């Protein structure tokens, strides 16, 4: 798996300095750092929270079942990946999409999920957030993973919401109520389809769960979440 991952990190990129350990020459993330910091771990099937191997579903998902049929994740949102995401997302470094997407593709079951999906839908940004940032990082990831299956015009964010990590669960659910919608003129494209819902970071899961409910209400047959990093 790591040989495949490293070849993905090298595609279209010149040797430079590793952004994690600063080894030179190296790719965006060198082989040693990938081996040290991107080892797969057992995760909850429906929210990707790290779990002991014997437990397929976490307690939170047992109490409040997720609208996602499955959730896949490459790494924990911790050193060194939190810093890479910050640069990708907030410091105008969209070129990091190559290495982040390669790590996602190398995670367990992700290749199969991409192949099985009819559609890859990026988590949308509000028009205001998109204007501020200049690009949707989730859309960049989805296009890197499967450009021919990616659609950015089906799932819409119709209301801006505050950062989810700053809110308690009840407040998150209220804030996200009616935040997402399916484009009415294209809703028929979801009927019975297997959807892969793509995002960079899963914090509480509330946004992904809400979007999954909206997609299923519009006719999607199955919704799987795929994120680069999951907060712990």
What integer pLDDT is reported at residue 147 of this predicted model? 98
What integer pLDDT is reported at residue 164 of this predicted model? 55
List the chain domain ranges: 1-39, 40-230
Per mean pLDDT, which range of 15-19, 55-59, 198-202 is the poorest? Answer: 15-19
What integer pLDDT is reported at residue 170 of this predicted model? 59
173 or 21: whose pLDDT is higher? 21
Report how far residue 119's alpha carbon sits from residue 112's, in angstroms, rounded to the nearest whole number: 13
What integer pLDDT is reported at residue 88 of this predicted model? 94
Average confidence (pLDDT) over 2-16: 48
Q: Which residues contact 103 (CB under 8 A, 6 or more apart)?
A: 5, 9, 29, 34, 38, 74, 75, 228
Report how far residue 142's alpha carbon sits from residue 196's, in angstroms, rounded to the nearest whole number: 9
Q: 3-state secondary structure string, 135-149?
A: CCHHHHHHHHHCHHH
Task: Report the SS3 class of residue 187.
Answer: helix
Average confidence (pLDDT) over 197-214: 95
What integer pLDDT is reported at residue 212 of this predicted model? 97
The phi and psi torsions of 119 (rounded to 5 degrees) equal -140, 140
The mean of the pLDDT values for the chain is 89
Q: Which two tokens stand for residue 148?
A: 């021919």
Q: Is the peptide bond before 130 cis (omega within 30 degrees of 0)?
A: no
Distances (CA, A) of 50 to 90, 100, 153, 188, 202: 26, 19, 32, 36, 13
Per mean pLDDT, which range of 17-21, 68-72, 81-85 is the poorest? Answer: 17-21
CA 219 to mean position of chain CA atoms: 22
Q: Which two tokens stand for residue 232?
A: 């712990």
User: 185 falls in which pLDDT band (50, 70, 90)?
Assistant: very high
Does the pTM surpass 0.95? The reply is no
Could you tell me how many residues make up the chain?
Answer: 232
What are the pLDDT digits (tens) for 115-151? 999 999 999 998 888 888 899 999 999 999 999 999 9
User: 174 falls in which pLDDT band (50, 70, 90)?
Assistant: low
Task: Considering the domain delimited by 40-230, tell me its CATH architecture.
Answer: 3-Layer(aba) Sandwich (3.40)
Average confidence (pLDDT) over 62-88: 95
CA 102 to mean position of chain CA atoms: 13
Residue 166 has pLDDT above 60, yes or no: no
Residue 44 has pLDDT above 60, yes or no: yes
What integer pLDDT is reported at residue 163 of this predicted model? 60
Report how far residue 121's alpha carbon sits from residue 147's, in angstroms, rounded to the nearest whole number: 11
């Amino acid at each position: 798996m790591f040989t495949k991952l490293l070849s993905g990190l090298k595609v279209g990129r010149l040797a430079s300095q590793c952004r994690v350990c600063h080894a030179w020459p190296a790719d965006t993330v060198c082989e040693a750092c990938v081996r040290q910091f991107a080892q797969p771990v057992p995760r909850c099937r429906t929210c990707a929270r790290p779990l002991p191997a014997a437990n397929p579903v976490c307690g939170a998902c047992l109490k409040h079942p997720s609208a996602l049929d499955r959730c896949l994740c490459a790494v924990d949102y911790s050193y060194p990946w939190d810093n890479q995401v910050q640069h990708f997302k907030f410091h105008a470094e969209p070129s990091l999409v190559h290495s982040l997407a390669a790590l996602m593709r190398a995670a367990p079951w992700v290749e199969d999920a991409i192949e099985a999906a009819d559609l890859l839908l990026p988590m949308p940004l509000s028009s205001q957030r998109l204007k501020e940032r200049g690009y949707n990082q989730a859309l960049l990831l989805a296009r890197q993973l499967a450009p021919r299956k990616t659609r950015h015009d089906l799932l819409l964010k119709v209301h801006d919401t505050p950062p989810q990590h700053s809110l308690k669960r009840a407040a998150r659910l209220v804030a996200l109520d009616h935040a997402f919608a399916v484009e009415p003129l294209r809703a028929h494209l979801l009927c019975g389809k297997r959807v892969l819902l793509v995002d960079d970071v899963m914090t509480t899961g509330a946004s992904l769960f809400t979007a999954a409910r909206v997609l299923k209400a519009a006719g999607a047959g199955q919704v799987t979440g795929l994120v680069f990093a999951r907060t712990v």
